A = this chain, B = another copy of it.
């Protein structure tokens, strides 16, 4: 339970808005929880499979409730049958997608055909999540391009050739981030969030607080914070940092200004704060970044 609270705190800090406390299952088989930055997400694919549950076949496994371990995703290729996820029933149509995670309770009824992948991220025994993964719903409508990705992954899985594993991981990462982008587009952000993002972009070099955004929009700081988390999965502060780092990258790559000047232009309090934050977000120091940028020309 201590770990659960710890993860909850980390999740809130990182902008996961709702931290679902799922019922504890009887078994000692449950995974620990951890937070995994998007940049470090490496899928470990355990199983790729197509399954057809024919109507009336009465496949026993298709009836009983099971509790999901790690992650699984699947795309339905036919109309028919249904899936019950955490008590909610969904009638299955072609290109419906399920994205299930640790602790979800699921059962299904024939008949359907689906392509399924069972996977997790990194070390087995730890269930990793982040704001992107948390924002993907359990059930939604996909499209033909998703079915194509599943099929490609299945082909690579069958081939087992050199280069297949890397390709599968690449496709799965692309698919999962695609789920997120399918459902969370910048165009769908509320006008308030959009105007705050523009405001931040224009005043990047200045000190900007949550109450500044409140004053600017005419709402309370708390309301702005909540809107940001709901719309983007991130706090305004996290956006501001990303924007500042992105602008710093431009300045580092295009000019010869000293680091202190770059830090100041991007609104960082000090050069040392800039240096440490840049390293943390990008993995390399501003100096190295500039060196690589010069090198690549």
Contact = CB atoms under 8 A, between A and B. Distances in A.
B39 A132 contact: no
Most B-side CB within 10 Å, residue of A39, A47, A178 = A47
A170 B171 contact: yes
A13 interface: no
Given A132-B162, A173-B173, A284 B46 contact: yes
Given A169-B173, A173-B166, A284-B46, A232 B132 contact: no
Nearest to A135: B162
Interface string A118-131: 10000010000001
A49 B293 contact: yes
A84 interface: no
A91 B44 CA distance: 41
A165 B289 contact: no
Interface string A172-200: 11111110110010100000000000000
For chain A, the bracket of interface size reads: 35 or more
Interface of A is mostly: helix
Given A61-B297, A178-B167, A233 B173 contact: no
A37 B165 CA distance: 9
Nearest to A59: B297
A51 B297 contact: yes
A171 B174 contact: yes
A210 interface: no
The 8 closest A-B pairs by CB, nearest first: A170-B173, A170-B174, A167-B177, A38-B165, A163-B180, A166-B177, A42-B42, A160-B242
Interface of A: 15, 37-42, 44, 46-47, 49, 51, 53, 59, 61-62, 66, 69, 72, 74, 116, 118, 124, 131-132, 135, 158-167, 169-178, 180-181, 184, 186, 232-234, 242-243, 245-246, 249, 253, 282-284, 288-289, 292-297
